[in-house]
Amino acid sequence: MKLILAIVNNDDAHTVNANLSKNGFFVTKIASTGGFLMSGNSTFLIGVDDAQVESCIELIGKYSKKRVQQAPVDMSYTGQPFTGIPAEVIVGGATIFVLNVEKYEHV
Ligand code: 2BA
């Protein structure tokens, strides 16, 4: 078994959630915040059998769009010199991690 952890733009989260559920995936959606832009995104936790990993990733990718976002003017919280900070960044589609699950219980 694997745990898929997917960070998705809030604008795509509803569609991603709906399509995962429609396709039989069990999903937990957590409200999260990107450390760079400090804006809201959604993190999905999806427990799947090994054989379902690729179809799950494909589905998330299908409904997660790339978009250009403005970086905030004041990013002093990053501790980086201002010269190295881009004015615009490409966000998405989705950032996905696949973790091994040692044990799964539903009691
Ligand atoms: P944020 O951290 O707010 O990052 C938003 C976008 O800013 C990123 O898009 C990337 O294009 C850019 N960016 C992030 N850190 C940067 C840096 N140190 N220097 C220059 N540009 C930077 P994505 O890569 O699509 O990431 C979207 C969101 O996914 C991130 O929001 C963060 O919440 C999460 N994420 C991405 N990579 C991650 C990682 N390796 N570990 C944990 N979370 C990650």
Q: Is any atom of ligand 1 closer than 6 Å to the C-beta of 43?
A: no
Residues 90-106 have pLDDT tens digits of: 999 999 999 999 999 99
User: CB–CB of 8/56 below 8 Å?
Assistant: no
User: How many whole angstroms from 106 Cα to the centroid of ligand 1?
Assistant: 33
Pocket test for ligand 1, best of 42, 60, 95 (most atoms within 8 A of CB): 95
Q: Does a cis peptide bond (omega within 30 degrees of 0) precede residue 93? A: yes
Nearest to 22 by CA among 50, 49, 56: 56
CATH, range 2-100:
3.30.70.120
Among 36, 38, 45, 39, CA closest to 10: 39
For residue range 36-94, what is the model confidence (pLDDT) as tens digits? Answer: 898 999 999 999 999 999 999 999 999 999 999 988 776 666 666 655 666 889 999 99
